């Protein structure tokens, strides 16, 4: 997959939405990793494990990069199952949620 970079903008021009938030569902086995348990001590084992990230790419492109190992979070590369668009949707652009 060819790496995409952001287009250069003229001064004073800003894109309406520059970055996207995305959510990846992880395999249940990730909850057994010592480091994951240590970083999430109050995790409810009945709930699925997820990874939340932010990217300048589309969520689909970023997930493909994770799975291919390009600038990947190891936990997503190894345990990532699928994107959860119902948890981030089109409205979850970080600029839109700054208060």
- pLDDT of 90 strictly over 70: no
Higher per-residue pLDDT: 61 or 8: 61
Domains of the chain by residue range: 26-97
For CA atoms 11, 15, 62, 75, give the dihedral sign. Answer: positive
- pLDDT of 22 strictly over 70: yes
pLDDT value at residue 19: 82
pTM exceeding 0.75: no
30 vs 47: CA distance, rounded Å? 12
In tens, the pLDDT along 70-84 reads 999 999 999 999 999
């Amino acid at each position: 997959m060819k790496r995409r970079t952001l287009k250069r903008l003229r001064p004073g021009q800003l894109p309406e939405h520059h970055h996207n938030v995305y959510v990846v569902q992880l395999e249940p086995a990730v909850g057994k990793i010592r480091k994951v348990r240590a970083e999430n001590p109050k995790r409810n084992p009945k709930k699925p494990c997820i990874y939340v990230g932010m990217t300048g790419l589309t969520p689909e492109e970023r997930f493909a990069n994770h799975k291919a190992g390009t600038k990947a979070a190891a936990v997503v590369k190894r345990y990532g199952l699928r994107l959860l668009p119902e948890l981030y949707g089109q409205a979850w652009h970080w600029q839109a949620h700054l208060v």
